[in-house]
Structure 1
Amino acid sequence: MNPNIDNDLEALSKKLYLESPDLWIEFLDKVGEKVIDEMVLFFAIKYNFPSIVKFAIDNKKLILDNPSKNTTYTSIRSHLIATCKQYNCLECIALLSSSTKDSLPIHSDKPTNENLENNISIPTLICENCKSNIFNVGYRVIGESIYKFSNSENKLIEVKNPNPQEVICGNCNKVLPNTTRDKVENICKIQGCNSCGMDLTKVGILDTSKLEFDENNNSFILKSTQYSCGNCNNSIGEKQKDYFNL
């Protein structure tokens, strides 16, 4: 790393030590191994060190559109931009937003060791044109949010984009009809249906039981139970069953 970044990381380290000695130790381990990951950038944004964010982006220290460790967000980028808004780090929002062209593919079609270890079930959203799952081949989003500085609120605010966001298949470059980034992000959430993206806590879950006749007992017995989305009737995932204690 260059001397300037080393100095900034050392200054950030001192601030983090005052907040949490435990996190400080983990931070030192990462920096000692020359790792600048989502955690490091989170604190760089929180304590207003845009130079560290810029260094990580310019030197491709991480892929911003890879899944975030914070499951509330679908990508590292969306998590960090939310952090920028929380701590009003305007320069970092500009850095994170301007690097979108270098972010594809968002999802790799090769499962990572972490995914295999955690037995993550990849959601499905099929491109009608090439029949690929966009979570395997990647996707692009056109129509990013617009930010302007508000004099009344003295901070950067998000302005509603009049043009709806379009999701484009990373394999064939065709627009997915009736699909927005919100839908894609909802599909990735544990509460979101893997097919239509609707919130299962809002549309409900259908409980379908199959009974088979047992000749020995001369009665029907429960053979299997299927749980599906109350909106599109597609089956929910195994992790969702565990999450909802089904």
Structure 2
Amino acid sequence: MKKIFNIIEILNDLKDLEKKIYLDSPEVFVDFADRIAENNLDEMVLFFATKYNYLSIVKFILNNDIVNLNNPSKNKQFATVKEHILAAATQFNAKDIYDYIVNYDTKLEEENTEDDDIETFLKTVGEKLSDLCGQVDLGGGYYKEPSKAKTSQSKKEDVADTKPNTDKPETVESTPSTDKNTDSKVEQPQQSNMYEPKFICPNCSCNIFETGYSISEKVNYKYSKDEKKLVVTSKEQENAVTCSKCGYTIEQLNPAFLENICTVQNCKKCGKDLTSAGIVTKMKTEYDSESNSFITSKKSFHCAECDSELTDYQVNYFKL
């Protein structure tokens, strides 16, 4: 059976990769950061992971069936995605990635044989168990893309599930409205600055900000002789989040990470809405002796109200 991966496992690598792309090509960085923010790990992400030799990201994308190596490449110079990535691995001397992709078809064939045997067995148990089995292959669902094993009916259901998420910003309840009967399409321009946080559960593909999530707290007790009862000595929030819809525990997902996503429009220090308060750009320059001129060595973005520096999430969100 295939392992259900969690994107948290490669968040650090994705962040490092974003920084390298930004230094090499700020124009490409904007497009790349948008894809990461939308969990759209497509051929472009696979290419840059290969260029900068991030084997962990390549494995994650392929093992979760996010990109099919045999699909036509978006780069017209190559017939398939596989040819494109192998060429990139050769060009940028990513030997480990090259070997992994070359041997991937053999590895995938062995895994598919095991999966087919298990699926055949489960179908004999009955319709209910078969339905349950159909919910286990969720690698592609995390990215809202149907996996190879899904039927045409399940694909239709996926489309039906994703459409409400696309239209959701048009009907956000928190948007002020004086006329409840006003058409949502008319209200949409007024809601253009609204931000809807999103984190997709890797198990059931729902947005946990919509369906809800729970966190666990580690509480230590001891018996008090003076009070003659148990008293709380300490409380500690555990580093895990559980999806309220399916009960799946997303390990190593820090609740603070979700909080950062939720408040991306607000300054982390003064709490002002950055779309109203404004953002100040600061640049540090250094003298370059070769060109006999000053060049920008660092750029940062700050809240215009309190001068607090924006987080990486906010910089990516505002496409700065």
Could you state the TM-score of these two structures normalised by the residue count of structure 1? 0.40
- Which has the larger helix fraction? 2
